[in-house]
């Protein structure tokens, strides 16, 4: 499948997912951006907002391996990565891959996993590999982790460290739907025959790799690169630096550029625009900012700060 047909197929997939994920157009776009960039996603929202459903619909359209890991406090790293198993017949140990050895991995309620499990996942996300004993095992290509967490029930959870948050391309925060959207959701569930999810397209892994190459070849002009750098470095200087303990690192610039190019490609353009940068910036940058305790006590949030940065920094 060539790039043009792949783009058309992704457009059909986007429309199909929108019919079953009412009110989640932004989440659908972010999932496709993650697929196109190979960047991992963290989705945060209250229970019942179709976070898991959205990832499963995407997995149904991609012709690759899919696994779901339900995190609990007693989860072990080997439950995620796999473990060497002794084979009496040969007298040797054989590595048995865990659920992370799939193309699309859904990690549900990641903040319920203990720190050792989070660290094991960090290596997989950062380096596309798993180390077990003295052996290192490569993960499949493409490889995408989508993690979810709830903003409630913090008892018995392990907040993600800043180093691991920085490994996510984007942090998507979902809100509750309004009355009109909720009625449409209810109508969808009540309608006959709407329960089946039959994707109109089936993307082979080769198609996904071709789409990634096409999306990353989108032109990012020199003034737009300057704009991205000015947005990121604004978090390191006044008047914003006084509210920030740790500003956005260079990884934030790379993530913002990649996400902007992927969005432009999804919109059918071969070049990125300032609106692409502005649209993805809150999800690409906010989770990379660590606010000071005083700013947090005053009710300031990282997302509000990024919104102020976008207002203060002129595009071109």
Q: Is the pLDDT assigned to residue 150 strictly greater than 90?
A: no
Query: For the sheet containing 40-44, what is the strand order?
Result: 66-70, 104-108, 144-149, 40-44, 168-173
Lowest mean pLDDT among 23-37, 115-129, 263-277: 115-129
Tell me the pLDDT band of 163, cut-offs 50, 70 and 90.
confident
- Please provide the average confidence, as pLDDT, over all residues in the chain: 91
pLDDT for the residue 249: 92
**Distance in angstroms (rounded) separating the CA atoms of residues 66 and 151:** 25
pLDDT for the residue 128: 92
Instruction: Tell me what percent of the chain is helix, strand and coil, each rounded to the nearest 5.
Output: 50, 20, 35
Q: Are strands 290-291 and 244-246 parallel, antiparallel or unpaired?
A: antiparallel
**Distance in angstroms (rounded) separating the CA atoms of residues 233 and 13:** 36
| Average pLDDT over every residue of 85-95 | 85
Greatest mean pLDDT range, 92-96, 120-124, 173-177? 173-177
Q: Is the pLDDT assigned to residue 277 strictly greater than 70?
A: yes
pLDDT for the residue 168: 95
| Average pLDDT over every residue of 70-97 | 89
Instruction: Kindly list the structural domains of the chain, giving each domain's residue range(s) and its CATH number in brackets, ordered by start.
Output: 3-190+201-206 (3.40.50.300), 218-312 (1.10.8.80)
| Average pLDDT over every residue of 207-212 | 92
* Burial class of residue 197, CB neighbours in 10 A (0-12, 13-18, 19+): middle
| Average pLDDT over every residue of 167-192 | 90
Contact between 177 and 23 (Cβ < 8 Å): yes
For residue 285, which of 161, 141, 168 has the smallest C-alpha distance? Answer: 168
Q: Is the pLDDT assigned to residue 101 strictly greater than 90?
A: yes
Q: Is the pLDDT assigned to residue 197 strictly greater than 60?
A: yes
Tell me the pLDDT band of 1, cut-offs 50, 70 and 90.
low
Half-sphere exposure at residue 212, Cβ-oriented, CA atoms within 13 angstroms? 17
Residue 83, Cβ neighbours under 10 Å: how many? 15
pLDDT for the residue 192: 54
Which distant-in-sequence residues (6+ apart) come within 8 Å of 196 by Cβ? none
The rounded percent of the chain whose pLDDT value lies above 70 is 96
> Both tokens of residue 48?
């019942």
Residue 265, Cβ neighbours under 10 Å: how many? 26
**Distance in angstroms (rounded) separating the CA atoms of residues 103 and 62:** 9
Concatenate the DSSP letters of all residues of 37-96 into one string: HT-EEEEE--TTSSHHHHHHHHHHHEES-EEEEE--TT--HHHHHEEEEEETTTTEEEEE
Tell me the pLDDT band of 316, cut-offs 50, 70 and 90.
confident
pLDDT for the residue 134: 80
Tell me the pLDDT band of 250, cut-offs 50, 70 and 90.
very high
């Amino acid at each position: 499948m060539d790039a043009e047909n792949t783009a058309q197929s992704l457009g059909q997939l986007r429309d199909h997912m929108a019919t079953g994920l009412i009110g989640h157009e932004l989440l659908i776009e972010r999932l496709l951006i993650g697929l196109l960039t190979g960047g991992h996603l963290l989705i945060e929202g209250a229970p019942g907002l179709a976070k898991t459903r959205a990832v499963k619909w995407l997995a149904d359209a991609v012709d690759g391996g899919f696994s779901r890991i339900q995190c609990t406090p007693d989860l072990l790293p080997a439950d995620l990565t796999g473990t060497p198993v002794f084979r009496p017949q040969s007298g040797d140990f054989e590595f048995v891959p865990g659920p992370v050895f799939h193309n699309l991995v859904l990690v549900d309620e990641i903040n319920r996993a203990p720190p050792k499990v989070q660290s094991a996942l960090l290596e997989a996300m950062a380096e596309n590999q798993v180390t077990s004993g003295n052996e290192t095992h490569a993960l499949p290509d493409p490889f995408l982790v989508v993690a979810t967490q709830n903003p409630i029930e913090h008892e018995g959870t392990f907040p993600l460290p800043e180093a691991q948050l920085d490994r996510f391309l984007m942090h998507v925060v979902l809100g509750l739907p309004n009355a009109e959207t909720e009625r449409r959701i209810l109508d969808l569930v009540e309608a006959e025959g709407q329960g089946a999810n039959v994707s109109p397209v089936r993307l082979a892994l080769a198609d996904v790799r071709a789409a990634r190459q096409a999306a990353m070849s989108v032109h990012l002009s020199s003034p737009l690169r300057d704009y991205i750098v000015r947005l990121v470095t604004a978090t390191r200087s006044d008047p914003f630096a006084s509210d920030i303990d740790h500003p956005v690192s260079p990884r934030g610039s790379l993530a913002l550029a990649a996400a902007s190019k992927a969005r432009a490609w999804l919109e059918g353009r071969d070049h990125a625009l300032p609106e692409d940068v502005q649209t993805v910036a809150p999800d690409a940058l906010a989770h990379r900012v660590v606010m000071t305790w005083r700013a947090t006590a005053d009710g300031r949030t990282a997302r509000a700060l990024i919104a102020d940065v976008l207002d203060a920094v002129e595009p071109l």
